[in-house]
Structure 1
Amino acid sequence: MTELAITVRQRPGFHLVQLEGELDSTTQLPLRQAFNELLTEAPPKIVVDAARLAFCDSSGLWTLITGQREAEGRGGGLRLIGVHGPLARLLSVTRLVDMFPSYASLDQAAHWPGPR
């Protein structure tokens, strides 16, 4: 059985979601539930730290895509940091790298542009 630890921390202006373990069809539901709670913020700004993510399959990727679309639809966004290994390969193979641009650090990912 796979396991995924999810830690959510409030930061000034955004929420940090740290993932550790495996994000797949058997572990994606708690992440989806965490996103649903965070999407009630106005606007929802979420940074997902994937540095300790050991594995990600297509259902895990779909959870991230859905979270991103819903956050953007509500005027916010979902950003990834620490992307490596299977998640990096999935983003590359599916050509979703542009949907989830690479941020070198938490500080960089946490700065959203101001209102237009």
Structure 2
Amino acid sequence: MDLTLETRVLDGFRVVEVAGEIDVYTAPRLREALADLIESGHHHVIVDVEKVDFLDSTGLGVLVGGLKRVRAYDGSLDVVCTRARLLKIFEITGLTKVFGIFGTVDDAVAAHVA
């Protein structure tokens, strides 16, 4: 399966909606999309993985790399995920303590507004 990426703006956040598989073959596209956003001055990013069917360690590495980049600008990178299989990956790797993980994009935005 391929990877599709769509970016939209919501209340000052850049929301990257990801669908498909994030693996060693497709992760570079996500890395490039995040890098382009961050380099163009957008330091508050939400990555919506609700339509992601598969996520491997390469994909996790891309998300961690994106988080490091935005933190250099006092930014944020949150993840929207309710899929049990993906949440388990974040839990096993300890990344639930690193990322803000939310059930909806609106919840992620609200966490920064409150």
Shift in Å at residue 113 of structure 1?
A: 5.2
Shift in Å at residue 80 of structure 1?
A: 0.6
Q: Secondary structure at the match of 1:70?
A: helix
Q: What is the rounded CA distance, in whole Å, between the counterparts of 1:18 and 1:26 in structure 2?
A: 18
Q: What is the rounded CA distance, in whole Å, between the counterparts of 1:87 and 1:60 in structure 2?
A: 11
TM-score, with structure 1 as normaliser: 0.87
Shift in Å at residue 108 of structure 1?
A: 1.8
Q: What is the rounded CA distance, in whole Å, between the counterparts of 1:60 and 1:83 in structure 2?
A: 17
CA-based RMSD of the aligned residues comes to 1.8
Q: Which sections of structure 1, spanning at least 5 residues, go unmatched?
A: none
Q: What is the count of residue pairs matched by the alignment?
A: 113
Whether the aligned pair in 2 keeps the contact of 1:43 and 1:74 (CA below 8 Å) is no
2:18 aligns to what?
A: 19
Q: What is the rounded CA distance, in whole Å, between the counterparts of 2:20 and 2:31 in structure 1?
A: 16
**Is 1:28 equivalent to 2:27 in the alignment?**
yes
Q: How does 1:64-75 map to 2 (within 5 A)?
A: 64-75=63-74
Shift in Å at residue 91 of structure 1?
A: 1.1
2:4 aligns to what?
A: 5
2:55 aligns to what?
A: 56
Shift in Å at residue 102 of structure 1?
A: 2.4
Q: Which sections of structure 2, spanning at least 5 residues, go unmatched?
A: none
2:43 aligns to what?
A: 44
Q: How does 1:100-115 map to 2 (within 5 A)?
A: 100-111=99-110, 112=112
Q: Residue type matched to 1:11 in 2?
A: L
Q: What is the rounded CA distance, in whole Å, between the counterparts of 1:41 and 1:13 in structure 2?
A: 14
Q: What is the rounded CA distance, in whole Å, between the counterparts of 1:91 and 1:110 in structure 2?
A: 20
Identity %: 27
Shift in Å at residue 72 of structure 1?
A: 1.1
Shift in Å at residue 89 of structure 1?
A: 2.1
